[in-house]
Amino acid sequence: MRPLCHLYKKSASSAGTTCATSSQINSKQRQRGAALLMAMLTVTLVATLAAASLWQQWRSVEVEAAERQRVQSGWILTGALDWARLILREDARSGGADHLAEPWAVPLQESRLSTFLAADRNNTGGATSEEQVDAFLSGQITDMQSRLNLFNLVQDNQISPVALAAFTRLFTLLNLPPLELNRMAEQLQLALDSSKYNSTDASIPLMPRSAAQLGWLGLSPATVAALQPYVSVLPVRTAVNLNTASAEVLVASVPNLNMAEAQKLVSARASKYFRSTADASAILNQPSITFSESEHGVATRYFEVLGRLRLGPSMLQERSLVQRDGIIVTTVWRERVAADPPPAAAP
């Protein structure tokens, strides 16, 4: 192969003259290409590692923020439950009947609590006022003895005729299928039969803890939804509070009582609550309508505390069943679930 000289007219052997073959030139070009490719790969690798590190850091921040929000929400809802227990305890100190004109029966409207979540900017969820998360708390206390207690259906491992008659009247009033009532009573009897607790029979149903779980006893979703405002699941037999029960519950729990007479009782107690079952009897003044002391009363031991916390776009809801014995108020159970936020107001 003939040499290529930088000084074309000079001899190949002249001093200071450098020549290169075509193979040497191609080798240098390949080296430069490999170096460029290596530099591009290095930049790509660095960019990938930086992106992965940034994602890990962002994920850690999001996890920490979610954990902080969970802890804050838990403390706020726990405080709301303590507030409700305090109200019920103070109500017990005054004594007397439980009725809807007492402080515990007034629901808490949605109130802003974001200013109490933290003391500095770092705990508000944002650096500016536009980024800060607002927290809103609402809730209410419900008399659970204002409803028919499912536990009353079974007494001494037998279906109670009195309670079954009350539930039959409720099913009739709500136009619900009576076959589902019979199935519910039978399944409840199985669930409460202590002799079968250790049985491996999968057909034995679980005992529901609230009215929303009545589907465990064979009820359809439509029947469960219709019964929820009128039925409770309490751990012991209880009487219906005549001061807080709805007209539908009064019709179901009192034999021979029609809806017009139940509405009359509801209207009468609004102006003056019943201090005893005798006051309710005096309003009706009908010998055919009597109130059983074992099935009716004017005092309550079991209440449900509902707390809702709206924190930014999410909402957390907690339901608690509390038992009041004298001035001692204890929590029977608590359940906390994520709830759908209320719909936005129309512009």
pLDDT tens across 162-210, in order? Answer: 999 999 999 999 999 999 999 999 999 998 886 555 556 677 888 999 9
Q: Which residue, 263, 280, 297, sits at the end of a domain? A: 297
The Cα–Cα gap between 22 and 4 comes to: 8
How many structural domains does the chain have?
A: 2
Cα(170)–Cα(174) distance, integer angstroms: 6
Domain-located, residue 335 = yes
Q: Does residue 225 fall inside a structural domain?
A: yes
Nearest-5° Cα angle at 54, 53 to 55? 90
Tokens found for residue 345: 């107001």
Q: What's the distance, Cα to Cα, between the start and end of the chain in Å?
A: 87
**Domain span at residue 97?**
61-144+301-339
Q: Please report how the helices 259-271 and 277-284 are oriented relative to each other, as an axis angle in degrees rounded to 10.
A: 120
Q: What is the pLDDT of residue 96?
A: 87
The 10s digit of each residue's pLDDT in 112-154 is 876 555 444 455 444 444 445 578 888 999 999 999 999 999 9
Mean pLDDT (the chain) is: 83
pLDDT digits (tens, 9 = 90+) for 89-98: 999 998 889 9
Do residue 159 and residue 245 come from a single domain?
Answer: yes
Same domain, 174 and 215: yes
Give the pair of three-digit tokens for residue 313: 């776009």
Q: What's the pLDDT at 43?
A: 83
Checking if the pLDDT of 157 tops 50, the result is yes
Q: What's the token pair of residue 75?
A: 């403390």
Q: Are residues 153 and 285 in the same domain?
A: yes
- Mean pLDDT within 4-10: 46
Nearest CA to 243 out of 324, 167, 143, 151 is that of 143
Q: What is the percentage of the chain residues whose pLDDT exceeds 90? A: 52
Q: What is the pLDDT of residue 343?
A: 55
